[in-house]
Amino acid sequence: MTTGTRRRMGVEERRQQLIGVALELFSHRSPEDVSIDEIATAAGISRPLVYHYFPGKLSLYEAALRRAADELAERFVEPHEGPLGARLLRVTGRFFGFVDEHGPGFSALMRGGPAVGSSTTNALIDSVRQAAYEQIIAHLGISAPSPRLELVVRSWISLAESTALIWLDGRRVPRAELELQLVHDFAALAAVSAAYDPEMADLLAGLLANEPADGPFADLLTRLAALAPAATLPS
């Protein structure tokens, strides 16, 4: 019979393990409710050893948020192939997948959690938003976005955040419906902006011209057309 021996971890390997353990715990419970003792137990080490790698819970929390932010930003990466509506739908699916898997952790990232107002947390949140913004602009094929286009994209990202946070409070709307609705929201924001700006109108026309009849954007037009007979327009 052979007896296994516990392998000694290097400093960086142990740090990454602790970050992973903390993120897993934060993903299921509010970070305020997770103690250093619980993190130490889950990692199989002593409480003092946790403090050897991180000076306090806040520094470990910020490191876990940094990893969560990096993972969330990666969810917005999508090949630039096929209709935009389908691409956005895949992105929102992965975004809500992250939200679903890491509910409390996502809330902590977006709301700041124990580190609310800290420069580190604010920078992490901004980095996720900027990564999402740059990905969407790249998918639109625009090198120098106009002020109205920037407003549309950043407004949509903010809407996605708030929608996800509200959805986490009970998950009362089917996730798949919200994912599709967010894609529709993007088209709606772009359409409203197009009504005021010829450049946005040209961009929207180009996007819709490449959308298939069974795509998310066409689905929105069908839903709106069904409402038209019931709408009363001012004379």
pLDDT in tens, 114-169: 555 567 778 888 888 999 999 999 999 999 999 999 999 999 999 999 999 999 98
- The residue written with tokens 């103690």 in the block is 35
Please write down the long-range contacts of 90-93, taking CB distance under 8 Å and 24 or more positions apart.
Answer: 91/135, 92/160, 92/179, 92/182, 92/183, 93/179
- pLDDT value of residue 25: 87
Q: Can you spell out the DSSP letters for the chain?
A: -----PPPPPHHHHHHHHHHHHHHHHHHS-GGG--HHHHHHHHTS-HHHHHHH-SSHHHHHHHHHHHHHHHHHHTT---S-S-HHHHHHHHHHHHHHHHHHTHHHHHHHHH-GGGTT-HHHHHHHHHHHHHHHHHHHHHHT-SS--HHHHHHHHHHHHHHHHHHHHHHTT--S-HHHHHHHHHHHHHHHHHHHHTT-HHHHHHHHHHHHT--TTSHHHHHHHHHHHHGGG-----
Quote the pTM value: 0.82
pLDDT in tens, 2-44: 444 455 778 889 999 999 898 888 877 877 888 999 999 999 9
- pLDDT value of residue 122: 81
- pLDDT confidence of 235, banded at 50, 70, 90? low
